[in-house]
Amino acid sequence: MSKISSPSLRSPLGRAKGLGSSRSGVSHWWLQRLTAMGMIPLVLYCLISFIMLADADLNTARAWIQHPFNSVAMILLLAVGFYHASLGLQVVIEDYISTKTRRILTLAFTKMVMTAFAVMSIYSILLITLANGV
């Protein structure tokens, strides 16, 4: 015996309400796009600079990093780059790890590792920038 479903009096909007927010990923999506667009000029500037410094000695490379504009560009590239990578990894983790506890732990671990790498990288640039002739 087959069960015949009766037509619902609820509208499609009424059936969709309560199933979750449709706007939850929009800000995340926009942040990924904005960080990607912000990194384009930073990556181009640093890439061209690195190509020009390919045959430079250590003192020339230090002098380049100690220039305020170059050190700020490097710090911005590192900060935005690690944040962009963290956003991308978050999407992958949320899409492919189904167990809620494992997903939360993996997200927390990933955020901590990415933050640690970003802090170490920025600290290294600041150490070179603020070194006085060492």
Spans of all domains in the chain: 24-130
pLDDT > 80? residue 16: no
Q: What is the rounded CA–CA span in Å between residue 38 and residue 33? A: 9
Q: What is the rounded CA–CA span in Å between residue 34 and residue 91? A: 16
Q: Averaged over 84-102, what is the pLDDT?
A: 94
Contacts of 34 (CB under 8 A, 6+ apart): none
**Helix, strand and coil percent figures for the chain, each rounded to 5:** 75, 0, 25
Q: Alpha-carbon dihedral of residues 13, 15, 19, 20, nearest 10 degrees?
A: 10
* Average pLDDT of the chain, as a whole number: 88
Whether domain 24-130 has CATH 1.20.1300.10: yes
Residue 76 host element (H or E)? helix 68-96
Confidence grade of residue 20 (pLDDT, cut at 50, 70, 90):
low
Q: And the tokens for 134?
A: 């060492």
The string of pLDDT tens digits covering residues 41-51 is: 999 999 999 99
